[in-house]
Structure 1
Amino acid sequence: MSKQQACQAEACELQACLNKNTYAPEKCDDQLRKLYECCQRMYDSKTGDAANGGNESTACPMPSVVKRWLKDHPASGGKG
């Protein structure tokens, strides 16, 4: 899979969910988490080659946004 396609499936699932739930985007939290976790895995696998493109994807926000969102929205861990 090319860099540009990384996490594309997750981004498409999120977009479809948002289109379906226009007035209730909170119903798409699972898809958003999947996208950001995919992006984080991609960034974690980075080989330090940022000058030559590194690990990037058109589906992912910049690394600091992903990291902050995941920190601010910890996984529930099966609470309930």
Structure 2
Amino acid sequence: ACKLQTCLNKYTYQPDKCNDNLKQLYKCCQKFYEETGEKGESTACPIPSVVKRWLKDHEK
């Protein structure tokens, strides 16, 4: 989350330059939810369904 925030601050008008950081955050959130049975809470992670949908929509 910190790396993403730093990137967004650096590239204020070019958020697409931070896509790798965003993907890392979502993958971390996915792992967090897998380990907690989707019951964990985090201020850095969206709800589990949003994480799943985002990762599906941004497969490479």
TM-based fold match above 0.5: yes
The number of residues matched between the two structures is 60
Structure 1, unpaired ranges of 5+: 1-10, 49-53
Structure 2, unpaired ranges of 5+: none
Q: Distance in 2 between matches of 1:70 and 1:34?
A: 10
Query: Which structure has the bigger radius of gyration?
Result: 1
* Closer/same/farther in 2, CA of residues 56 and 30 from structure 1, 3 Å limit: same
Q: Percent identity?
A: 63
* Pairwise CA distance, 1:57: 1.0
Letter in 2 for 1:32: L
More helix by share: 2
Q: CA RMSD in A?
A: 1.3
**Counterpart of 1:66?**
51
Normalised to the residue count of structure 1, the TM-score between the two structures is 0.70
Deviating 4+ runs (over 6 angstroms)? none
Normalised to the residue count of structure 2, the TM-score between the two structures is 0.91
State yes or no: 1:45 paired with 2:44.
Answer: no
Higher relative contact order (CA 8 A, sep 6+): 1
